[in-house]
Amino acid sequence: MPDQPEIIEKCQSKLISFARIIYPNFKDPWHLKKLAGILEKVERGELDRVMIQFPPRHGKSVLTSQLFPAWFAGRNPNKKIILATGTQALAQEFGYYCRGFLQDPNYKLIFPEADIKQDSHAITQFRFGKTGVANFVSRGTQITGKGADLFVMDDLTIDAKDAASEKEQKSLRMWYKQVAYNRLQKGGRIILIGTRWRDDDIQGWLLDTESQERIDNWTIFKFPAIAEEDEEFRKEGDPLWPDEFDREALERIQAEDRRSFAGLFQQRPSIEAGNIIQRAWFKIEKITDDMLKGPRIMALDTAFKEGASNDYSAAVIGQMCGANIAVLHAEQKKLDFPKLIAWIKTMVVLHGIKAIICEDAASGQSVIQTIRKELPQIPIIPIKIKRGEDKESLMHSICPFLESGRVVINKFVGLETLLDNLLAFPNAAHDDLADSFRMLILYMIHHSASLKRITGRTALEVGSIFGR
């Protein structure tokens, strides 16, 4: 019972002190104390756009989505709060606890001016103090007419299935931009907290310069479950909350699914070493023309639109280098159809391309037809994905070849973009370069690198680098 003035004053000024009084058995390890300090800066207006990347089951929601709105309401009895989360059930749970805190006798001693209004019976919407209002909603909810001095968004992505759905992710982005953002009052603050699921999840999308007309001045805080460098309160390799998840427990979770662990627990949607493809498999060196033999081939993955949200057109160029396949260049651009054809022609001349392979589907069909008409001297080979095949299984099929060290990569401008695409696959925001790379390697594995003249035009002779 906070019956002493100094205790009440501490609870009014410090979120952690408030939590200890108002929430029985509240645990406050160092990482939650640090989180509380961040939330306090938001309340004071020192931070107005905050992304907090946090592993699951480490206490973030109790502090951020239940206790903090109640504390904020007490300090700001005339402000408006909106809290959004992935599901209505979770929104109701957060609202239930927050509303309960405002009705607690101790709360009334700490914040007497923030009393909850007697006619506020709903757990997802209630009024407090002078003109304060709190709304707890699920993402996608139409919140027209409701303003927010504080907008907390906690785990907007529900689960792995939701994260993998392009339709759901697109819907979430539209809701954020067209609905949620427009609810902010003048000087309104946003807290976006949650685990990372993929390269272009809501946090990644908001920071992508190609997807945004402008980037808000976000302050980003990362809390990896296992420290990847020395930090203020722990050393590299130490767990975030050893009392609940020690190193052994985290390593067991990691062993089950390294890819998911990297995103959800370490806040790295792609593993630095690689997901399906490992960086260590590649030799990266300067490749000169005298090391190469056979025709130079360009693999294309095409798209026709230039918009920020559209896919890239991507090209990866390769040639035989002794018994190995050399990747000489890779590039991606967002182009409309006329510019795409012009770009392909430029690449052919600039890099001395002798043959092109292109996926025979959607936009690729138009490219194939046009290049055959406008560059008849360059054979273009359609590549079809067979029924039952998918990109991920096809990428797995070339892994033994890659792991054997038979692919060397030239040092070129844009190399890191190619490697980022390959190592992040299938979790990268864009997989166009990875698709082109896969097509190139598969084709060069299964066809010879020799050319011969057939009735006046150049064509690839079928064979295999593993032997005819």
What is the Cα–Cα distance from 268 to 424, expressed in whole angstroms?
A: 10
Reported as a single tens digit per residue, the pLDDT across 127-183 is 999 899 999 999 999 887 789 999 999 999 999 899 988 899 999 999 999 999 999
Reported as a single tens digit per residue, the pLDDT across 385-438 is 777 678 888 899 999 999 999 999 999 888 888 988 898 888 776 789 999 999
Q: Which of 110-114, 186-190, 433-437, 448-452 has the lowest mean pLDDT?
A: 448-452
Query: What is the bridge-based pairing of β-strands 125-128 and 132-138?
Result: antiparallel
Give 5-223's CATH code, choosing from 3.40.50.300, 3.40.980.10, 3.10.20.600, 3.40.50.1000.
3.40.50.300
Reported as a single tens digit per residue, the pLDDT across 204-249 is 999 988 788 888 999 999 999 999 888 999 998 999 999 999 999 9
Q: Are 354 and 459 in contact (CB under 8 A)?
A: no
> What pLDDT sits at residue 449?
41
| Statement: residue 298 has pLDDT above 70 | yes
CA atoms within 13 A on the CB side of 326: 23
| Statement: residue 458 has pLDDT above 80 | no
The per-residue DSSP string of 248-302 comes to: HHHHHHHHH-HHHHHHHTTS-SS-SS-SSS-GGG-EEE---GGG-EEEEEEEEE-
Please confirm whether the linkage preceding 426 is cis (ω < 30° from 0).
Answer: yes
> What pLDDT sits at residue 273?
61
Give 279-460's CATH code, choosing from 3.90.550.10, 3.40.120.10, 3.30.420.240, 3.40.50.2300.
3.30.420.240
Burial (0-12, 13-18, 19+ Cβ within 10 Å), 5: exposed
Q: Are 236 and 277 in contact (CB under 8 A)?
A: no
What is the Cα–Cα distance from 415 to 282, expressed in whole angstroms?
A: 12
Residue 27: band (very low, low, confident or very high) from pLDDT cuts 50, 70, 90: very high
Q: Could you state, in order of their start, the residue ranges of all structural domains in the chain?
A: 5-223, 279-460
Residue 450: band (very low, low, confident or very high) from pLDDT cuts 50, 70, 90: very low
> What pLDDT sits at residue 105?
94
Tell which residue, 64, 51, 41, 420, has the closest CA to residue 207: 51
What is the Cα–Cα distance from 62 to 97, expressed in whole angstroms?
A: 9
Which pTM does this prediction carry?
0.67
What is the Cα–Cα distance from 273 to 276, expressed in whole angstroms?
A: 10
